[in-house]
Structure 1
């Protein structure tokens, strides 16, 4: 797990591995853009990653 989001480990543990990896990828980008705090970024990233996964499933 990305060290930047270690504080949110419990938020991420319940996700399946592909969704968790996508959420970390998205969260890292959101933080880099400096538009979100870490908490806001991980919350938004989980939402987007779940949507991404459900879109893949059809």
Structure 2
């Protein structure tokens, strides 16, 4: 898990591993590229990662 999001481990643990990895990737991009705060980034990233997963047919 990305060290930046260690405080959100409980939010991420219940996710499918593929969704978790995608959420971390998205959250990292949001923090770096759009200056999101970590909590907002992880919340938005989880939603986007779940949408990504379901679009794949998961």
Q: Aligned partners of 1:34, 1:7: CA distance in 2, in Å?
A: 20
CA RMSD of aligned residues (A): 1.2
Q: May I ask how many residue pairs the two structures share in their alignment?
A: 58
Q: Which residue of 1 aligns with 2:6?
A: 6
1:34 to partner: Cα distance? 3.6
- Ranges in structure 1 where 5+ consecutive residues have no aligned partner: none
Any residues of structure 2 matched to 1:1-58 within 5 Å, and which?
Answer: 1-57=1-57
Shift of residue 29 of structure 1? 0.2
> Unaligned 5+ residue runs, structure 2?
none
Shift of 1:35: 3.2
Give TM-score scaled by structure 2 length.
0.95
Cα distance in structure 2, aligned partners of 1:26 and 1:34: 11
The runs of 4+ residues in structure 1 deviating greater than 2 Å are none
